[in-house]
Structure 1
């Protein structure tokens, strides 16, 4: 909500590259994908904002805005996994907010893991929308921030629910200080530290993981990409399985957003996810500066360290002019 407010209050159509959210987006994209020319950043960012609003509009639509042929393809996959409840692993890509609705329409019982903040904002509406659906599977919401989240998740699985989890969410149990509950996974040009609890649970309780990601086709229509089941094997060492799970899932994410980076909302908050960065020499080589403003205050964000320093209006205007000049020279 705060980020949405800042976005609305500080950015105009002609000033998109000076908002706080744009600075976060640019720093994150530059950190992970320095090969993308910065001249393309404003257009990618505009498409990302459009994608976010589209995801919200799709969620509010009374008629499911998904083509029948897409549903047919997903139905085939769902029929394969219907008899064995498991963890449906997805990311905040495309029209991700529709996935639980699509799954319920296919007859699955679905438990969605989401933050307490989102449950407070959207929970009543989701249940009201679900109540209007005919012959739909049951819907349950699980608070990712609650101390009994794991118990609720296991209970849902025992009761025949498929549990929908956003793997790139930045909510959940507080990570251990020593990093013992985290797994390092490569993601584009950097590494992320992701919580490995779900992979551990999958291995110990023999729970399958079903990856499904949302994206858009060339005609800007919603589509869903389903991937082979990740099945635990009792003979596979736990640490190998954890590595396989997250490398596989984040490879799927990379495949979806490599050609369409605007599909992933994570560019706005991936800095809040723990990560191991490159050595200092390499970090300096990729360092860059992004002017941004919030209301009448002006800042310089330093990428990829995510530090922010307040500057004067004249310095801000000079830096913004320099950024525009360098983009023009590149183009």
Structure 2
């Protein structure tokens, strides 16, 4: 846990971010940001039963504030107090040293700090990220974290969407390295999705990590971070170990259910500390078609209908957060719908 209570610079940053996002109201004039909010609002309604527009906007602002705070904490890690390494007890570190495996974590709280903690503890590991993140931040990751890497070691950043990533991961794990992966990123190569429960609904998630753990007989270490009472707290479940008595598909299903159950429990009282709400629509299982009634409402621009207008590549659409359906609309209808959200 990290105590910031006497960290003046941190308090200033926190107050500044809180004030900024409290005063920032997302609206349709912010085309790209509004489109992100439209899908975020659908996720709030679908999984959290949060259908009030003002409350959705408030949660959106807090999620983005926590996102920026996490970036700041990562960039200023060297200025944080030594207590940063006490969030996980020595028993957890000893387990990881004795039996390297797959650290499965989430985009919660200050989720980037685990990279620093692993390096400070001398853990040899590889970081698995999406292709987009690898291209955008891969070099920055290596430069930022390399100063914490022990002599003779290097930080390896792997692209989860690389078709050959499975063989690279196998080689690294067999060499005694651990792997750090953000399970809720839900990226990978190939088609290997399974449906599991989440907040009373259903999502499709990738099963590659538990399949890999079963194949190589390495443990999975579930881990999450949450800001609580001015502390950054790491929560860890007991390692999940595979067994040849259970086939790899059943193990993958059970493991992903446990991991997402852990995530749900962790963020239940801290919904604004999970970035996944911004992207969860990609994991929604339902497939919907256009409903004539709602299409009629679009044409009449009925502002009481739960429809959200947005733009993409210069074209206008109406989005139904109840069904995740998007429908082309005329520019005139789009402009009339905008008035409700300004």
Fold agreement, TM-score > 0.5: yes
Q: 1:277 to 1:258 in 2, by over 3 A?
A: farther
Q: 1:207 to 1:33 in 2, by over 3 A?
A: same
Q: Please name the residue that 1:168 is paired with.
A: 184
> What is the CA distance between 1:232 and its match in structure 2?
0.8
> What is the CA distance between 1:245 and its match in structure 2?
0.3
Q: Please name the residue that 2:220 is paired with.
A: 209
RMSD: 3.1
Q: Please name the residue that 2:169 is paired with.
A: 153
> What is the CA distance between 1:210 and its match in structure 2?
0.2
Q: 1:133 to 1:14 in 2, by over 3 A?
A: closer
> What is the CA distance between 1:189 and its match in structure 2?
2.5
Give 3-state SS (helix, strand or coil) of 1:320's partner. Answer: coil
Tell me, yes or no, if the aligned pair for 2:199 and 2:264 is still in contact at 8 Å: yes
> What is the CA distance between 1:246 and its match in structure 2?
0.9
Paired residues in the alignment total: 300
Instruction: Tell whether 2:88 aligns with 1:74.
Output: yes
Q: Please name the residue that 1:85 is paired with.
A: 100
Instruction: Tell whether 2:80 aligns with 1:59.
Output: no
| Alignment deviations for residues 1-20 of structure 1 (CA, whole Å, 9 cap, x no partner) | xxxxxxxxxx9955415422
Unpaired runs of 5+ residues, structure 2, are 1-20, 29-33, 295-304
Q: Please name the residue that 1:258 is paired with.
A: 268
Give 3-state SS (helix, strand or coil) of 2:143's partner. Answer: helix
Instruction: Tell whether 2:201 aligns with 1:190.
Output: yes
TM-score by length of 1: 0.80
> What is the CA distance between 1:249 and its match in structure 2?
0.2
Q: Please name the residue that 1:290 is paired with.
A: 308
Q: Please name the residue that 1:20 is paired with.
A: 35
Separation in structure 2 between the aligned mates of residue 203 and residue 272 of structure 1, nearest angstrom? 26
Unpaired runs of 5+ residues, structure 1, are 1-10, 176-180, 322-331
> What is the CA distance between 1:133 and its match in structure 2?
2.3
| Alignment deviations for residues 210-266 of structure 1 (CA, whole Å, 9 cap, x no partner) | 0111211122x3221111111111213434322220111001110122111111111
Give 3-state SS (helix, strand or coil) of 1:57's partner. Answer: helix
Q: Please name the residue that 2:145 is paired with.
A: 130
Give 3-state SS (helix, strand or coil) of 1:63's partner. Answer: helix
Separation in structure 2 between the aligned mates of residue 254 and residue 56 of structure 1, nearest angstrom? 23
Q: Please name the residue that 1:33 is paired with.
A: 48
Separation in structure 1 between the aligned mates of residue 133 and residue 68 of structure 2, nearest angstrom? 16
Tell me, yes or no, if the aligned pair for 1:92 and 1:168 is still in contact at 8 Å: yes
Q: 1:203 to 1:38 in 2, by over 3 A?
A: same
> What is the CA distance between 1:140 and its match in structure 2?
1.0
Q: Please name the residue that 2:9 is paired with.
A: none
Separation in structure 2 between the aligned mates of residue 241 and residue 296 of structure 1, nearest angstrom? 46
Tell me, yes or no, if the aligned pair for 1:191 and 1:277 is still in contact at 8 Å: no
Q: Please name the residue that 2:238 is paired with.
A: 228
Separation in structure 2 between the aligned mates of residue 60 and residue 151 of structure 1, nearest angstrom? 32
Separation in structure 1 between the aligned mates of residue 175 and residue 184 of structure 2, nearest angstrom? 26
